[in-house]
Amino acid sequence: MGIKALRRSAANFSENRISASGIRNGHSLTIRRSATHFLPGGKLKNPLRATLKRGSIKRGSMAGIATAGAAALLLSGCGQAPNSGSAGPTKSDYIGCIVSDSGGFDDQSFNQSSFEGMQKAEKDLGITMKSAESKANSDFETNLNGMVSAGCNLTVTVGFLLGDATKAAAQKNTDKHFAIIDFSYQDPIANVKPVVYDTAQAAYLAGYAAASASKTGKVGTFGGIKLPTVTIFMDGFYDGVQAYNKAKGKSVQVIGWDKATQDGSFTGDFEKQDTGKQITKNLLDQGADIVMPVAGPVGKGAGAALKEAKAAGKDVKLIWVDSDGYLTAPEYKDLMLTSVVKQMDEAVETVVKDDKEGKFSNEAYVGTLANKGVAIAPFHDLDSAVPAETKSELDALKADIVSGKLVVESAASPKK
């Protein structure tokens, strides 16, 4: 294939419009503009990798841009194998699969982090990986059926919204295993492993830090859809601010959420960034100088509003959720005070590893501060915004939560 043709095809790929066919890992590969597509090998445009090790966040390697991804794909179609570097584990017959919610795998949040966990399993464990990206809730059933038809040994579904579709697929295919991120069932399902997080614990620390760093005495938060996996962040954040007020005799206000009434600001979805931007502007107009959006890709709207406010001379800051936003949303890193992190990538890889080794269990995994399943990210460039005294207090609060001396409560906390 000529270079000019390759470049033209790469350009088409970047707009998600190409149609290519070939055989990879024994399965047909077709990519076209549609709500559902399977990507053997798990290649995505511009995936970022952030890993949490021993309580600290490190920048991982960044995958190639869309053009490079297209080039590798098309070269494969031309019969030329790309240079894979050092040899990894021998490919096994085991197929690990993952289905996103409507936020997509490039949401710079929980879908992306979970996807990177499956990529890591592919690299470290030698499995074959398949993925299906949902563009709308109506894609869930189709994508899950596609994973079953593709022969997936384990299918990981990402997000609360996939709860019903995952249950239906699991009950129809009792010989297959499933895991669902951020959701658990009141009545356990034999072939579904819930992976959930007590994010209120880490959000409590973020709220305490935000209260200490606020110059206006007002901090804000808002959610996407009013779901337990969203409000649990807001509950923890709220309580952390109140803890700071009690310890310091202050009266920092939380705008956008009232834990007692469970009432607050929500966009109603995880897609409309303009709505997130407007809500953030409303919070800023009410005096908030630190904002924590709990809304997946809608958080980018909050970042945009804060960037505009900073450009206008305001001292404002952003708190990200799910992943370390300093790494996964670097366009906002100069605003990033910290992030409330769920270590989804490692959990996904561990679930795959256990299943591959015949150790599957439907017992829920609950990520906590104690098992390092949740954490707050470093303060990075804004380290000086948090007083040294506050940092020591955060360490002490974390130790008390881990020991059980301090219990952070939320109606949305997962059952342990």
Instruction: Please answer whether residues 318 and 306 qualify as being in contact, where contact means their C-beta atoms are separated by less than 8 angstroms.
Output: yes
pLDDT for 350 beyond 90: yes
Tell me the range of 64-78, 84-98, 100-114 where mean pLDDT is highest.
100-114
Q: What's the pLDDT band for 106 if we cut at 50, 70, 90?
A: confident
Q: Is the pLDDT of residue 47 over 60?
A: no
Integer Cα distance of 51 and 54 in angstroms: 10
Of 117, 135, 225, whose CA–CA distance to 179 is shortest? Answer: 117
Say how far apart CA 255 and CA 258 lie, in whole Å. Answer: 8
Q: How many C-alpha atoms does 211 have within 13 Å on its Cβ side?
A: 29
Encode burial over 143-159: b for 16+ CB neighbours within 10 A, e otherwise.
Answer: bbbbbbebebbbbbbbb
Contact present, 369 and 375 (Cβ < 8 Å): yes
* pLDDT, average across residues 88-95: 73
374-376/336-342 β-pairing: antiparallel
Contact 269, 230 (CB under 8 A): no
At position 165, the amino acid (one-letter code) is A
Share above pLDDT 70 across residues of the chain, in percent, rounded to a whole number = 78
Contact 330, 341 (CB under 8 A): no
Rounded mean pLDDT, 189-196: 97
Could you tell me which residues are beta bridge partners of residue 75?
none
Q: Give the residue range(s) of CATH 3.40.50.2300 domains in the chain.
A: 25-56+63-73+84-197+343-373, 199-342+386-403
Output the CA–CA distances (angstroms, integers) from residue 213 to 309, 316, 340, 364, 388, in the order listed. Answer: 17, 10, 16, 36, 11
DSSP assignment of 18-43, as one string?
A: ---EEEETTEEEE--SSS--B-TT--
DSSP bridge pairs for 132: 38, 99
User: To 5 degrees, how large is the angle CA 261–CA 297–CA 136?
Assistant: 95
Q: Alpha-carbon dihedral of residues 81, 82, 84, 89, nearest 10 degrees?
A: -30
Q: Phi and psi at residue 27, in whole multiples of 5°?
A: -125, 145
Alpha-carbon distance of 248 to 228, in angstroms, equals 30
Q: Which of 13-22, 150-159, 172-181 has the lowest mean pLDDT?
A: 13-22
The superfamily CATH assigns to domain 25-56+63-73+84-197+343-373 is Response regulator (3.40.50.2300)
- pLDDT score of 332: 98
pLDDT tens-place string over residues 355-409: 999 999 999 999 999 999 999 999 999 999 999 999 999 999 999 999 999 999 9
Structure-token pair, residue 331: 């366009």
Q: Which residues contact 139 (CB under 8 A, 6 or more apart)?
A: 35, 36, 102, 132
Q: Which of 91-100, 214-223, 233-242 has the lowest mean pLDDT?
A: 91-100
Q: Tell me whether residue 126 is exposed, middle or buried, using C-beta atoms within 10 angstroms of its C-beta: 0 to 12, 13 to 18, 19 or more.
A: middle
Q: In this structure, are residues 317 and 290 in contact, taking their beta carbons and an 8 Å threshold?
A: yes
> From CA 63, how far away is CA 76, in angstroms rounded?
18
Give the pLDDT confidence of 132-170 residue by residue, as tens digits. 999 999 999 999 999 999 999 999 999 889 999 999 999
Q: Assign 27 a pLDDT band (cuts: 50, 70, 90).
A: very low
What is the SS3 assignment for 17? coil
CATH 2.60.40.10, applies to 199-342+386-403: no
Label the pairing between strands 154-158 and 365-367: unpaired
3-state DSSP call for residue 279? helix
Tell the burial category of 67 from Cβ atoms under 10 Å away from its Cβ (0-12, 13-18, 19+).
middle
> Residues 277, 268: contact at Cβ < 8 Å?
no
Q: What is the pTM of this model?
A: 0.75
Q: d(Cα 373, Cα 219) in Å, to the nearest integer?
A: 26
